Structure 1
Amino acid sequence: MNIHDNKQQMQQVLTALASGDFAPFRACMADDLVWTVTGTTPLSRTYVGKADVLDHLLKPLAALLDGPFRMVTDRVTAEGDVVVVEGRGQNRLRDGRPYENTYCWVCRFEGGRLRELTEYMDTDLVARIFAATG
């Protein structure tokens, strides 16, 4: 796959996320995906493998949300096998509070699959959300 293919695939994933459809994102993840959440939040660490990402990062977050995770994209840039995404979450927690985090994802593709993702976000917001929900 080339730069254009990687960027186009990520844009399709992001279009689906904007409407709350997570299936294309899950489908593009490699089984050996490595996802790093930066910072010192309860979620910050490196998750190794698609199952680890889904079970220990995305499932706990989804349990706090009132509805599917939604993110709108502000910018997508690609160079080589790397696609960089800037986006804004448009979510609400089950207790009614807004959860509108900002994100920068640095994504590396290999063979048409997402192999690595480093996530930068408002870590203070995540720490406060998890502290308030226990």
Structure 2
Amino acid sequence: MTDIRDDRIALFDNLQSPATQPKFWERVADDVDWTVEGTHPLGGRYRTKTEFIEATFTRLDRVLQGGVQLKVERMYIDGDTAIAELLSTSTSLEGAPFANRYCWVCRFDGDTIVEVRAYLDSSMVDYTVLRNEIAMKK
């Protein structure tokens, strides 16, 4: 039997590549309650998986070479909660590292993520998203 910690690490490891990310999203509820803290272009509360992906991952995919790539640095498990510390290993369209650090506090219902509070470097997101989106329009 797979240990719950190993299962959660394997789940979040799917975020390392856009090719494997669908395996992660399969385990996120369609009606997930996902809050991205901060005052930046990706901040807000999203009430569906589709809304969250479109507003964040899809938007970032447009300004990052090879899309969003997240590496698990640490994982903490307590009951139905997993806290994932993630590092972005992505590069912006202009060639700058997008080495953002994330902390996602995720509540599970069984094997499905139903609620997330995400924390990140708001300044890095603001600068990278807006600067690269402006460059794309030129």
Q: TM-score if structure 2 supplies the norm length?
A: 0.86
Distance (whole Å) between structure 2 residues aligned to residue 103 and residue 56 of structure 1: 17
SS at match of 2:106: strand
2:43 corresponds in structure 1 to 44
Number of the residue aligned with 1:13: 11
Tell me the distance in 2 between the aligned counterparts of 1:107 and 1:42: 21
Letter matched to residue 24 of structure 1: K
The answer to whether the Cα contact below 8 Å between 2:60 and 2:67 also exists between their aligned partners in 1 is: no
Identity %: 28
Measure the CA separation in 1 of the matches of 2:56 and 2:68. Answer: 13
Q: Which has the higher contact order (CA 8 A, sep 6+)?
A: 1
Distance in 2 of aligned mates of 1:109 and 1:19: 23
How far did residue 120 of structure 1 move? 0.6
Amino acid at match of 1:70: Q
1:107-130 Cα distance to aligned partner (Å, 9 max, x none) = 000131110111111111111112
User: What's the counterpart of residue 59 of structure 1?
Assistant: 58
CA deviation map 1:56-108 (0-9, x unaligned): 22211111111032122221011111000112110011221211100111000
Report the aligned-residue RMSD. Answer: 1.5
Q: 2:33 maps to what in 1?
A: 34
Matched, 1:23 2:22: yes
- Structure 1: distance between partners of 2:82 and 2:103: 10
Letter in 2 for 1:23: P
Matched residue type, 1:43? L
1:26-62 deviation per Cα after TM superposition (whole angstroms, max 9, x unaligned): 1111011111111100111001111111222221111
Give 1:19 deviation, angstroms.
4.4
Which residue type is aligned with residue 11 of structure 1? I
Partner of 1:124: 123
Number of residue pairs matched by the alignment: 130
Q: List 4+ stretches of structure 1 deviating above 6 A.
A: none
Deviation at 1:13, TM superposition (A): 2.1
Letter in 2 for 1:106: V
